[in-house]
Structure 1
Amino acid sequence: MSRWTEAEAQAWWAKRPWVCGFNYLPSTAVNFLEMWHRDSFDPATIERELGWAAAVGFNAFRINLHYLLWKHDRDGLIDRLDRVMGMAHRAGISTIPVPFDDCGFGGEEPVHGPQPDPVPGVHNSRAVASPGRARLADETEDAQVRAYLTDVLAQFREDPRVLLWDLYNEPGNRMIFGREGAAEHLPDFTGRSLALLRDSFAIARTIGPAQPVTAGAWSTAPVGSEDPSYQTAADQFALDNSDVVTFHAYLSTPKVAAIIDTLAARRRPMLCTEWMARPVGSRIDDQLALFRARGVGCIQWGLVRGRSQTWLPWPQDLVAAHGGSTETGEWFHDLLDTDGTAYDPAEIAVLRAVTSGQRNL
């Protein structure tokens, strides 16, 4: 199977309502290992929170899987993914699975089993990569890592509950969120990430899912760049091989508009699969309307404040590099508190108006 043509991608997009959703980790999970592990899987919380999401107006969500869960409990992972997609489907929410991810912001390699509590005061303090940054360099595990993707794709290749496959989140991301308010970086491992990204697309084309496959361009417009078409090698490969264009944009509205203008030249459906970070100008009150008006799907970061602590800010130097400030103390991500009440009721009103098409765009 080859990459979808522009016409095929646009025809698929035209059959769907405008996509508006959220990246999801249940409030009771510190990372995706904890979300999916059999001893900490929390279906009651997940179903309740998906109900809240549906009431807001969301129709899609993006969830990370993890290689180690498949390696140690393959049948359990497949069953729990099926159950969660069933809950989402009943709430009118489609699923975007993410098998691989380099965002190990906690700085530790993933370990199957009980996960540690969050580090007080640190954003996403226990985030772990899949398969793991060190594991990328271990060629002895390559075959199993690729077998994991093959198996998951094959299990759900015809499942209408899957909106699309986002094969690899932020390949090459080396950042660690330190405890002293500064971001740190590991040595460069982008060569191995790019190899896995290439293999992921090759596997997807072999399996031939009914849904489109993509990987997001996560550094399309780096902070301080005057060229919104900038891409890393991984970004370029993803954009050249994805059926639909996806990208990340924790940026001000003018910069996001510039990214959309640049990517529109590819003449494919577009989704921003990560956005919404209040202190850096990525805000619901103006950017949501931009996405809707331009016909660009959008998947914001976060739903319920929880153990991942993503309502807390990024490291201060990273916020400053994005032209933001945390002095106001407002939540960085997330919409709802653990009892379902809105952090900012005005944001919920905007979401409901825009997703229902009632707001004048």
Structure 2
Amino acid sequence: MKQFLSISLIVMNSFIASFSDNFDNGNLSKWQAFGNWSVENGQLTNPTGGNIFYKEATYSDFTYEADISVSEKEEKAGLLFRATKDDALDFKGYFVDLHLVPGRIRVEIRKVDHYDYKVLSDAEVIPGKSSHIKVVCKGPYIWVFFDDMTTPILCEYDTTFTSGAVGFRSEKAHTYFDNAKVSGEVPSLPTPLVKDWSYIRGAVYTSSNAVNATQTMEEFNPALINRELSYAKTYGFNTIAIYLHWLLWDQYHDQFLQNFEQFLSIADKNGLKVTPILFDPDCGTSTPAHLAPYDLPTPGIHNSQMNRNPGEDIKVNHYDAYSHTLKAYTLAVVNAHKNDPRIIFWQACNEPLKGESSDRLTKDASEWIRSTGTKIPVTSTGSGFFGPKYSDFYTFHMYGADSGDDGGPEHLCTECLNRPAQNFLELADNFEAKKTGFIIWDLMIGRDNCRFPWGSPLNAAEPAIPFHGFIYPDGHPWSVAEARRLKGNSFDKTPFFRVEYYTGIFDELKKVSVTPAIDFNLGNEPGTGSPDASAGIPVDSFSIKWIGKFSTTENGAYTFYADGDTPAKVWVNNQLLENNQAIPLKAGQNNIIRVEYIHYNGDSKLHLQWSGPHINKQTFVPNKVI
């Protein structure tokens, strides 16, 4: 038979009133109830919602645990702690809740200030018939355990509430609670990494010519990667996320490692930190995952050729046979860069979600990374995924109207931006207000087809608003306003070309923007063969005008080279130049350059270069604000 209620005192720097209650007796005299609370079959229950607090003591550092069973989907119920009680729904404090979603349970840590509910962090877990939840608090640290009482699924740092009552909360869910216990015994637990990530302004990178990041790394093009990462720097990004793949290691070994090393060098040259993503078990449409040859983008389909890593069949059916290779791949990458300052953090798994197989891979990958002795932090996605319990710090993805989990600068959003649901200007404002760094999906608007929204049908029309992406392959941002918001006050002091896009031969002006250089290969595929399909510019029969300003540091003759699929016209100080023609320029003089280009059909390309005194032939970039 269960014992009804026991109370004891434990001394830990101060007197702590410990208690346990299994509700067999049905007596709730030690509890202050708000709402329809009762005892049914030896369990505390509430069918309609409310709060109930243990009223005999308040707690600061403690361990609090109970059994919880939630019977209704999409409703929340759980443990209250460090709470100040007011009425049935209104209180201040923390709330660890179970939230039933199809096939799994989401566990959330919420910070509540009256009716202001903020999710600090959350994780997905695999449900059972009932669940045992344990919360440990010590100073600003909060650990949450689910069923497994040895490894916390969430580790949080928050200084808002330091003491208060414990209790239970049910939000319109028919919930049962049992075996409540509070103790002043606080076990020694690893604390989460508390680091300020609020400065991060990043983007996921797939080169504009590739259907997925695997192709980017296999068909490695240093010139293109340098060009596009230089655009990232120019517009104000400071971090790049890149998906790696075990197949690249398995096929190429040292060449793959050399490519990744070169990628890091290019990023570093452009002032960008890198976060590598080692596995992606549950996202991707290309099945099975493969290397070259790559299929063409599927017209209209979002992210149509993304590779899963390692692949569903391997993850679920053949993991034991492949785990040695997956570990070797992980160790090869991490050992080569285990203390590399160019890498800001490792992402073991992106969005691990689908059951025990994804959980196992996330656990193993995190352990493999740490086994190298790397001092670089390790994380995997939270906010509805299995990653937090294997992470040094909490990362989340946010594609809703709000900016998501609200844990402050020690948390980081590693994916966001899906227009029009998320307005980038509002998104950036929200993250800054919450002092949270962010990484958008993705940098380039290219052949990965992420400009199309989730669920877009086959052969869908080009979207007027790109779902993901920031920069087109010719270097102009989809939105100048977005680029100005990202870069800040220095945007208007940055030398750009002013660029105008037309249909036909300068017939109808479709868009005005900026670009750092004239340096592109667009190809001739639907959508990406256009410099900006969202503006209604066709793949064939379009024209572009650029104007920029520059000066030189030496007197002398300077030569301009325009290499395009059709001849481009170049004027410097209103003088029309023949291709490869030199023009004398004076040091310090402000010069105006204009370029006109007409594309008729086929592959579109144009590269503007120059040379002169102590300037080897190289891409021309303006150095004065127009």
Please, what TM-score do these two structures have when normalized by structure 2?
A: 0.46
Deviations 1:68-124 (A, max 9, x none): 000111111111111011111111100000010024432421123221111111111
Q: Partners of 1:64 and 1:240 in 2: how far apart?
A: 22
Flag the 1:287–1:210 CA change in 2: closer, same or farther, 3 A: same
Residue 296 (structure 1) aligned to one of 421, 436, 442: 436
> Which residue of the partner structure matches residue 449 of structure 2?
309
> Which residue of the partner structure matches residue 67 of structure 1?
246
Flag the 1:328–1:72 CA change in 2: closer, same or farther, 3 A: closer
> Which residue of the partner structure matches residue 43 of structure 1?
222
Deviations 1:219-272 (A, max 9, x none): x2xxxxxxxxxx45x1xxx2233112100011102xx35x21xx45xxx71110
1:145 aligns with 2:310: no
1:249 aligns with 2:398: yes
Residue 375 (structure 2) aligned to one of 195, 210, 217: 210
Flag the 1:283–1:354 CA change in 2: closer, same or farther, 3 A: farther
Q: Which has the larger radius of gyration?
A: 2
Alignment of 1:197-276 (within 5 A): 197-217=362-382, 220=383, 231-232=384-385, 234=386, 238-253=387-402, 256-257=403-404, 259-260=405-406, 263=407, 269-276=410-417
Deviations 1:169-194 (A, max 9, x none): 1113xxxxxxxxxxxxxxxx522111
List structure 1 segments (4+ residues) > 3 angstroms apart after TM superposition: 2-8, 326-329
Does the aligned pair in 1 maintain the 2:214–2:243 contact within 8 Å? no
How many pairs are equivalent? 302
Deviations 1:184-221 (A, max 9, x none): xxxxx52211111111122222222121110011xx2x
Alignment of 1:146-225 (within 5 A): 146-172=327-353, 189-217=354-382, 220=383
Deviations 1:25-67 (A, max 9, x none): 0001111221111xx2111111000000001111001000000
Q: Partners of 1:81 and 1:103 in 2: how far apart?
A: 23
Flag the 1:145–1:328 CA change in 2: closer, same or farther, 3 A: closer
Does the aligned pair in 1 maintain the 2:396–2:415 contact within 8 Å? yes
| Structure 1: stretches of 5+ with no match in the other structure | 173-188, 221-230, 318-325, 357-361
Does the aligned pair in 1 maintain the 2:431–2:438 contact within 8 Å? yes
> Which residue of the partner structure matches residue 481 of structure 2?
346
Residue 282 (structure 1) aligned to one of 407, 413, 422: 422
> Which residue of the partner structure matches residue 228 of structure 1?
none
Flag the 1:17–1:171 CA change in 2: closer, same or farther, 3 A: closer
Residue 262 (structure 2) aligned to one of 83, 97, 111: 83
> Which residue of the partner structure matches residue 508 of structure 2?
none
Flag the 1:211–1:121 CA change in 2: closer, same or farther, 3 A: same
Flag the 1:243–1:113 CA change in 2: closer, same or farther, 3 A: same
Q: Partners of 1:121 and 1:355 in 2: how far apart?
A: 37
Counterpart code for 2:365: S
Q: Partners of 2:192 and 2:481 in 1: how far apart?
A: 38
Q: Partners of 1:65 and 1:313 in 2: how far apart?
A: 24
Flag the 1:49–1:9 CA change in 2: closer, same or farther, 3 A: same
Once the two structures are TM-superposed, the CA of residue 354 in structure 1 deviates from its matched residue by: 7.9
Q: Partners of 2:208 and 2:235 in 1: how far apart?
A: 17
Q: Partners of 2:484 and 2:206 in 1: how far apart?
A: 23
Residue 292 (structure 2) aligned to one of 106, 110, 113: 113
> Which residue of the partner structure matches residue 55 of structure 1?
234
Higher share of residues assigned strand:
2
